[in-house]
Amino acid sequence: MFDFDEKPELNITPLVDVMLVLMAILMLTAPIMVYEESITLPKGSRSKSVDDNAKIEIKIDKDGNIMIKEKKYSMNNFADNFILFSEQFDKNTPVFIKADKNLLYDNVIFILKSVKESGFFKVSLITDG
């Protein structure tokens, strides 16, 4: 009938197969993951206006000249000058960046990174659309 002295064997082959498939999926998807910079964009309300004193507007022309409240800065020393300029503002103040469309992407991201590193978290890129 039954042999009660027989030792049971565990079959781990299905477990190993499932683990190998999961490892292959992880190895394929890991290099595809990218970092995403979150940007708080302004709401498009026509009935609400923003007070000019309650915002910082940064304009960058096609030559790379940076204007903040009628003061001109160069790209080389913008990060240090912006930190000094921003000491008089609350870090909740919204910052709007208007950049010429012919600028290099790296220059606009440098300005965005400098503003974020100085402590502002409400940063928006302004477009025509």
For the domain made up of 52-126, the CATH class stated in words is alpha beta
Strand order in the sheet with 71-73: 71-73, 66-68, 56-60, 95-99, 123-126
Percent of the chain at pLDDT exceeding 70: 80
Average pLDDT over residues 102-118: 87
Residue spans per domain, the chain:
52-126
For residue 96, pLDDT over 60 is answered with yes
- Whole-angstrom distance, CA of residue 50 vs CA of residue 129: 19
Residue 19 pLDDT level (bands cut at 50, 70, 90):
very high
Residue 16 pLDDT level (bands cut at 50, 70, 90):
very high
| Dihedral angle of Cα 100, 101, 102, 103, to the nearest 10 degrees | 60
State residue 78 phi and psi, 5-degree precision: -65, -45
15 or 36, higher pLDDT: 15
For residue 70, pLDDT over 60 is answered with yes
Average pLDDT over residues 40-44: 60
Question: What 8-state DSSP symbol labels residue 54?
Answer: G
Strand (E) or helix (H) holding 95: strand 95-99
Sign of CA dihedral 94, 100, 102, 106: negative
CA distances from 88 to 1, 91, 125 (A): 90, 9, 22
> pTM, whole model, 2 decimals?
0.56
